[in-house]
Amino acid sequence: SKRKGGKPVSIESVLARARKAAGHGILSTGLLLGHSCCGNLPHGRTIRMKHEPVAPPDCCIASVLVVDDHPLYADALCSALRHVFDDPYIETVTSLKGALDALRPGFSPDLVLLDLKLPDVTGICGLLRLRDRMPDTPILVNSSLASDDIVAAVKSAGAAGFLCKDA
């Protein structure tokens, strides 16, 4: 997506802001140039990506649960996570029910990336339900719903950080 002023933003830069918000430092300096990273590219446009070395993370993220019903965005998040962390196990689901089902015995993710607007829940209800099931796991909320009231509610509900998909 693009920031105001038309400058492109990469998924990795969004994750970097999330990590910083969660108190873990910077993830990556990858940059997607000249297109919307979540939409279709106009005919003849190409993706150019610059990857710079990333310092090893201060924490160990061995498993991640990505909860997002937008397949391109979820794939981009997974790609960025694999670029930064050492071969993490990533489970991707498209609904809150899928997320709750994924929290089976034997799978306790180190990090959750949660979209606020899912087919079976909208708003902070999904965050609250996941927080109840996983009180000690950082949950980073990513959403196109980004009013000041929503961000404040997400923070007070225990999210480790907020990522605006449109940032």
Q: Looking at the predicted structure, is the pLDDT value of residue 152 above 70?
A: yes
pTM score above 0.75: no
Tens digits of residue pLDDT in 95-125: 999 999 999 888 999 999 999 999 999 889 9
**pLDDT at res. 53:** 56
Over residues 83-96, the pLDDT tens digits come to: 888 889 999 999 99
Task: Please provide residue 112's backbone torsions phi and psi, each rounded to the nearest 5 degrees.
Answer: -125, 130
